[in-house]
Amino acid sequence: MSTSTTAPQTAGRPATSAPARRVGPVALGLRQGRLEVRQFLRSRESVVFTMLFPVVMILIFASIFTGEIGGGVRFTQYFVTGMIATGLMTVGFQSLAIQIPIERDRGVLKRLRGTPMPKWVYFVGKIIMVAVIGVAETVLLLTVAVLLFDLTLPQTAGSWFDLFWISVLGITACTLCGIAFSSLPRTGRGASATVTPVALVLQFISGVFFVFTELPSWMQQVAAILPLKWMCQGLRSVFLPESFGAQEPAGSFELGRVALVLALWCVVGLVLCLTTFRWTARRDG
């Protein structure tokens, strides 16, 4: 009588591995955000021109212009508000409008588009990076201004709230516009040459380097269409005396209009992002 030598079927099979744990959308976004922040901090050019440039400008201008501009307001106080707005614009608009074309030119976006990763994760990572660097830069600017130039911080909860919503609306508008503008440079190499002059012009006509009401009227009218002017004006309401509002073009800080214009630019920026963003370089069709 023959004996059966058949072994259990599972003996000759490799052990099956446990199914990979699915990463949730929040974890995906946070992971991409951490990656974007690390990449930003590893780029010496990004750190210098995005975070340190506004600090250097404060040190230079505040050391040169030490007098008052009227109403008991020193130029240092006025200039710092403009540089905070510039810092938010730089990290939101300028950095993204330069980074994204470079990544597109290197084929990074094309490869990401071909992976199972949802497209929105890429943008969430950029938004997290902008938020983290924007907060860090604002804190750095305020610290330098308080320690070296006796800037008075907001004294009431209402003023801190105004600083919060103006910064959030402003950096959101700049981020969306930066993503939309990133489709304009033809190559990654030419992105900086395309974006930087635009950012500098915005600063000069929006009352960052000079008192806004001392600019030519046509320049004020052009700047009034763009978000940086309203970011600067809103931040002046936070850091300057309420009486200084009388020296604004409309005789007040117009916080309601500040909110309206910045919100409109958020909508415009979102529409432009949805209709113009490209994942591949133009040479790839």
The pLDDT tens digits of the residues spanning 183-231 come to 998 888 888 899 999 999 999 999 888 889 999 999 999 999 999 999 9
What are the pLDDT digits (tens) for 9-57? 444 454 555 455 666 778 888 888 898 899 888 887 778 777 788 888 8
Q: What residue spans of the chain are helical by DSSP H?
A: 25-42, 44-46, 53-64, 75-89, 95-105, 108-113, 119-149, 157-181, 191-205, 217-223, 227-239, 255-276
When pLDDT is cut at 50, 70 and 90, the band that residue 285 belongs to is low
pLDDT of residue 6: 45
User: pLDDT at position 7, please?
Assistant: 43
Confidence class for position 5, pLDDT limits 50, 70, 90: very low
The reported pLDDT for the residue numbered 8 is 44
119-150 pLDDT tens trace: 889 999 999 999 999 999 999 989 988 888 77
Taking residues 53-63, report their average pLDDT.
Answer: 82
Find the mean pLDDT for residues 152-164. Answer: 92
Helix axes 95-105, 119-149, angle to 10 degrees: 140
Asked if 177 and 272 count as a contact pair (C-beta separation under 8 A), the reply is yes
Sequence-ordered list of residues with C-beta below 8 angstroms from that of 209, at least 6 positions apart, any chain? 61, 79, 82, 203
Average pLDDT over residues 58-66: 79
pLDDT at position 3: 45
Q: Please tell me the predicted confidence (pLDDT) of residue 2.
A: 45
Most distant pair of Cα atoms in the chain: their distance? 113
- 229-276, pLDDT tens digit by residue? 999 999 999 999 888 888 888 889 999 999 999 999 999 999 999 999
Sequence-distant (≥ 6) Cβ neighbours of residue 162 within 8 angstroms: 154, 234, 237, 238, 255
> pLDDT tens-digit profile of 84-113?
999 999 999 999 999 999 999 888 888 888
Vertex 23 angle, CA 22 and 28, to 5°:
155
HSE-CB at 33 with a 13 A cutoff on CA atoms is 14
What is the structure's pLDDT at 11? 46
pLDDT confidence of residue 111: 87
pLDDT of amino acid 237: 93
d(CA 240, CA 231) in angstroms, rounded, equals 14
